[in-house]
């Protein structure tokens, strides 16, 4: 038997009473403070300030930050629960906790204690947001092909280049940025740095005009002799790419959780609609074709949710197959989200194609989960490599 699945103990995860209480608390907050603004956030492509304020006040904006830095110290499964519940009502708002984790995980995994003490407390209090700068226009899936450079000049690093498709850009205070420090060394020549929004030579470009997640600002980052203190390097020079890949093990399950939340929100809306809508003198929920479709969608959502939670638990425990499961969770859940939201629009019929109902927004938002943090084609490559290398 393949070792990925040989030990049934590795497949175990359990939601604690605290996890259930967390879900209930986040759902209540979302229904009261985030859901009422979701359509407006999308319509006007504006940052969801209401969501940021509510999540920060409740301590849900970055639950992964350890207690020693002023955070909640929650596990990976708890972070997934928060993101899932926020995404259920507003995917743009779910990028706040999701990108806070993405941007700060390299610091948690590899930074010096001094750098952690410098940046993580501001994230824990909500004073600062984080962002993550890996991709470039010509270095997306092929991140090693990045052109951004960093050179050591006395007691400072000087960065030159640009990053693309950066979530939280313009609203973040801290940016984890990857740059080549040893040209010609491939992945071993890439290092990670923490850039502050106020650092000289740093600039945020114009917002991208996007299909979905319109409330989450996505911009390019420009570095023109951007000068940062030498102690803001994350780990040793040349270890940045390894840190980036380790980060994805922790954050790809959160994208899976986001996808599950989108799917659940669309399913909930569609189920309520078909129980009310009548055609041919009957509620359309009474037609067997509709019932079978709902059953299939619910089944796939639950399968995706279980895989996401399992992946989060494996990563939390540091199990050897965590990379396979992290990619599986992100890939499967995002494919499910795309199918569920598309079918939800179909169940609404012509009404689903209008902005009077949330499912068209959810369908647009779902698409990005198949693309960012590694396209689903890349996820399949990662999974295949994990399978064949054992």
- Say which residues have a Cβ less than 8 Å from residue 362's Cβ, sequence separation at least 6: 91, 262, 265, 266, 269, 341, 344
**Residue 146: HSE in the Cβ half-sphere, 13 Å Cα cutoff:** 33
User: Which residue numbers are catalytic?
Assistant: 373
Report angle CA 79, 119, 153 to the nearest 5 degrees: 130
The answer to whether the CB of 215 falls within 8 A of the CB of 45 is yes
Q: What is the pairing mode between strands 130-133 and 174-180?
A: parallel
Domains plus CATH for the chain? 8-128 (1.10.540.10), 131-238 (2.40.110.10), 241-388 (1.20.140.10)
3-class secondary structure, 327: helix
The answer to whether the CB of 128 falls within 8 A of the CB of 262 is no
The answer to whether the CB of 176 falls within 8 A of the CB of 142 is no
Bridge partner residues of 250 (DSSP): none
Measuring CA to CA, which residue among 314, 306, 328, 305 is closest to residue 383?
Answer: 328
Bridge partner residues of 233 (DSSP): 193
- One digit per residue, the tens of pLDDT, for the chain of length 390 reads 344 444 444 456 789 999 999 999 999 999 999 999 999 999 999 999 999 999 999 999 999 999 999 999 999 999 999 999 999 999 999 999 999 999 999 999 999 999 999 999 999 999 999 999 999 999 999 999 999 999 999 999 999 999 999 999 999 999 999 999 999 999 999 999 999 999 999 999 999 999 999 999 999 999 999 999 999 999 999 999 999 999 999 999 999 999 999 999 999 999 999 999 999 999 999 999 999 999 999 999 999 999 999 999 999 999 999 999 999 999 999 999 999 999 999 999 999 999 999 999 999 999 999 999 999 999 999 999 999 987
φ, ψ dihedrals at 315, nearest 5° = -65, -40
| Consecutive H or E run containing 235 | none
DSSP letter for each residue of 74-133: --HHHHHHHHHHHHHH-HHHHHHHHHHHHHHHHHHHH--HHHHHHHHHHHHHTS--EEEE
Bridge partner residues of 178 (DSSP): 192
CA distance 197 to 314: 34
- Say which residues have a Cβ less than 8 Å from residue 246's Cβ, sequence separation at least 6: 105, 109, 110
Which two three-digit tokens encode residue 141? 């899936």
CA distance 191 to 182: 9
CA distance 379 to 288: 36
Measuring CA to CA, which residue among 176, 71, 197 is closest to residue 131?
Answer: 176
**Residue 94: HSE in the Cβ half-sphere, 13 Å Cα cutoff:** 33
- The predicted pLDDT at position 349 comes to 98
Distance from the Cα of residue 338 to its chain's centroid: 16
Which two three-digit tokens encode residue 254? 């959160």
- The predicted pLDDT at position 4 comes to 46
Rg (CA), the chain: 21
The answer to whether the CB of 183 falls within 8 A of the CB of 189 is yes
Q: pTM of the entire structure?
A: 0.96
CA 161 vs CA 77, 190, 198: distances in Å: 36, 14, 17
Helix axes 359-367, 91-110, angle to 10 degrees: 30
- Say which residues have a Cβ less than 8 Å from residue 57's Cβ, sequence separation at least 6: none
- The predicted pLDDT at position 12 comes to 63
CA distance 357 to 309: 29
The answer to whether the CB of 349 falls within 8 A of the CB of 357 is no
Measuring CA to CA, which residue among 45, 106, 126 is closest to residue 245?
Answer: 106
- The predicted pLDDT at position 390 comes to 73
3-class secondary structure, 348: helix
């Amino acid at each position: 038997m393949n070792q990925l699945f040989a030990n049934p103990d590795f497949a175990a995860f359990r939601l604690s009473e605290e996890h259930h209480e967390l879900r209930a608390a986040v759902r209540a907050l979302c229904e009261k403070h985030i859901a009422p603004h979701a359509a407006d956030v999308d319509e006007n492509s504006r940052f969801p300030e209401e969501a940021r304020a509510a999540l920060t006040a409740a301590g849900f904006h970055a639950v992964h930050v350890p207690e020693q830095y002023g955070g909640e110290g929650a596990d990976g499964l708890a972070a997934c629960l928060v993101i899932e519940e926020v995404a259920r009502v507003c995917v743009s708002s779910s990028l706040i906790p999701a990108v806070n984790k993405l941007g700060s995980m390299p610091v948690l995994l590899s930074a010096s204690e001094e750098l952690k003490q410098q940046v993580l407390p501001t994230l824990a209090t909500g004073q600062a947001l984080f962002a993550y700068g890996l991709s470039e226009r010509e270095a997306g899936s092929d991140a090693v092909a990045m052109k951004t450079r960093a050179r050591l000049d006395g007691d400072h690093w000087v960065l030159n280049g640009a990053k693309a498709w950066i979530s939280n850009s313009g609203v973040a205070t801290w940016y984890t940025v990857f740059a080549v420090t040893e040209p010609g060394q491939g992945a071993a020549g890439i290092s990670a740095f923490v850039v502050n929004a106020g650092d000289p030579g740093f600039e945020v470009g114009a917002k991208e005009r996007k299909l979905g997640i319109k409330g989450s600002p996505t911009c390019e980052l420009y570095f023109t002799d951007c000068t940062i203190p030498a102690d803001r390097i994350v780990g040793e020079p040349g270890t940045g790419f390894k840190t980036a890949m380790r980060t994805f093990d922790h954050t790809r399950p959160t994208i899976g959780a986001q996808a599950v939340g989108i799917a659940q929100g669309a399913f909930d809306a569609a189920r309520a609609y078909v129980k009310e809508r009548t055609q041919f003198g009957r509620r359309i929920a009474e037609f067997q074709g509709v019932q079978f479709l709902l059953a299939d969608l619910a089944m796939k959502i639950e399968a995706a949710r279980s895989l996401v939670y399992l992946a989060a638990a494996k990563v939390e425990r540091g199990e050897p197959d965590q990379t396979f499961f992290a990619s599986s969770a992100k890939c499967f859940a995002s494919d499910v989200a795309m199918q569920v939201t598309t079918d939800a629009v179909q169940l609404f019929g012509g009404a689903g194609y209008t902005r009077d109902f949330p499912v068209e927004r959810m369908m647009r938002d779902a698409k990005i989960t198949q693309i960012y943090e590694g396209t689903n084609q890349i996820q399949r490559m990662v999974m295949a490599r994990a399978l064949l290398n054992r």
